[in-house]
Structure 1
Amino acid sequence: MRKEDKGNIIAQLGEVLNEYAHFYLVDVTGLNAATTSAMRRKCFQSEIKMVVVKNTLLHKALEAAETDYTPLYDCLKGTTAVLFANTANAPAKLLKDFTKDGMPALKAAYAEEGFYVGADQLEALTAIKSKDEVIAEIVALLQSPAKNVLSALQSGGNTIHGVLKTLGERPE
C-alpha cells in the first residue's frame, strides 16, 4: 500500500471518528465469510457502521483525533473491526447476540465518553441507556402522577355516585 493511500485511509477514519459518538473495537479473528456477512447485515439494520481496519492505521487515526484514546492502544492486536454508532448500547446488544456462539469478542469500547477495556465489559455496555430510552423513562415518570390523579378522580366520581344511589334507594 502506498503512503498516500495510507494517509487517505487515516483521514477517512478520522472523519468517521468525528461523525460517530461511540465506537467498539471487536476481535474478528475466527469469523468465516458467512458469519462476517451476517454481522455486517445486522450492523446495517441497527444503523451501525462496521469497518475492518489495519491496527497501525487505526492507531494513527486515534492519535490524530482530538480526544485522547491512549487506553485503547493496547487492544490493537490481531484482526480488528470497528463498530461505529451514535447510540452507545446498540453495538453492545448486537455483540451480545453474536457472542452466544463465542465470536466475535469485544476488545474495547469508547462509549459515553468513557473507556471500557476487555470482553467482561459487555454487560456494562448493554446496561447503558440510550438518549431515547432515558427520555422515554422521564416522560413515563412525568405522566404517572397525572394518570394517578385522573384515575382517582374518575373512580371517586363513581364511588360517590354509587353511595348516593344506594342512599336514595334505601327505604326510610
Structure 2
Amino acid sequence: MSKYVKELVTRDIQRRLDGVEDAVVVSCVGMDANTTNELRGELGKKDIHMLVVKNSLARRATEGTNVAPAFEGATGQVGVCWGATDFVSLVKEIVKLDKDSEKYEKFVAGGGVMDGEKLDADGLKAVSKWPSREEQISMLVGQILGPGATLSAAMLGPGKMLNSQIKQKGEGDE
C-alpha cells in the first residue's frame, strides 16, 4: 500500500472514530464475507458499529485519542466495535456473541478501552456483569421512591386502621 493510500485510509478511520470514547476490539479473522455481513447486521440492529482495520493503521489513526490504548499489542486485522446506548450494553452484546454464538465461532472479544484505560478480555467479561444504564436508572428510581413509599404507608396506616374500626362498629349496630 502506498504512503498516499495509507494516509487516505488513516483519515477515513479517524473520521469514523471521531468522538468515540469507548470501544471494544474483536478478532474476526477467518470469517467468510456472508457471516461477517450477518454479524454486522445483527450488531447494527442494536446500534453497534463495527469497523475491521489493519492494526497499524488503526494505531496511527487513533494516536492521541482515548481509543488509542485499545490497539496496544494488537496484531493483524482487528475489528473495532462502538455504539449502543452505553458501554456496558456494548460489552454485554459483544461478550454474548463471543461465548454463546456457534454461528460466529471465529468472533473473539480481545479487549477494549473504557474512559481511556485499556481492558483485556477478562476485564471485558467483568464489565459485562455490571448493570446497564437502564438497569442503573431503575435501581436509582427505586431508591429514590422507596423512602417516600415507606413514609406514605406510615402516615396512612393509622388512618386506614381507624376507618376499618369505624366501619366494623357501624356494621355491628345493624
Scaled to the shorter chain, the TM-score interval is 0.7 to 0.9
One-letter identity of the residue aligned with 1:113? G
Per the alignment, do residues 79 and 67 of structure 1 end up closer, same or farther by CA in structure 2, a change over 3 Å counting? closer
- Taking structure 2 as the reference length, the TM-score comes to 0.79
Q: 1:133 to 1:60 in 2, by over 3 A?
A: same
In the alignment, which residue of structure 1 is the partner of 2:142? 140
Segments of 5+ residues of structure 1 without an aligned counterpart are none
Render the CA deviation track for 1:81-135: whole Å, top value 9, x for unaligned.
Answer: 11022621233222233221243111111124332113x3332121344444433
Distance in 1 separating the partners of 2:50 and 2:124: 18
Q: Is the 8 A contact 1:72 1:117 kept in 2?
A: no
TM-score (norm 1): 0.80
The alignment partner of 2:72 has SS state of: helix
Asked if 2 retains the 8 angstrom alpha-carbon contact of 1:14 and 1:61, the reply is yes
1:88 equivalenced with 2:87 (yes/no): yes
Which has the larger helix fraction? Answer: 1
Measured against aligned partners, the alpha-carbon deviations of 1:54-83 in whole angstroms (never above 9, x if no partner) come to: 1110111132x2448346411x21331110
Amino acid in the other structure paired with 2:94: L
CA RMSD of the aligned region, Å?
2.6
State the percentage of identical aligned residues.
21
The aligned counterpart of 2:22 is: 22
Deviates more, 1:43-52 or 1:82-91: 82-91
Q: Give the equivalent residue in structure 1 for 2:152.
A: 150
1:42 aligns with 2:45: no
1:36 Cα deviation after fit: 1.3
CA 80–71 in structure 1, closer or farther in 2 if over 3 Å, else same: closer
**1:88-167 equivalent positions in 2, closer than 5 A:** 88-99=87-98, 100=100, 101=102, 102-118=105-121, 120-167=122-169
For structure 2, which runs of at least 5 residues remain unmatched after alignment?
A: none
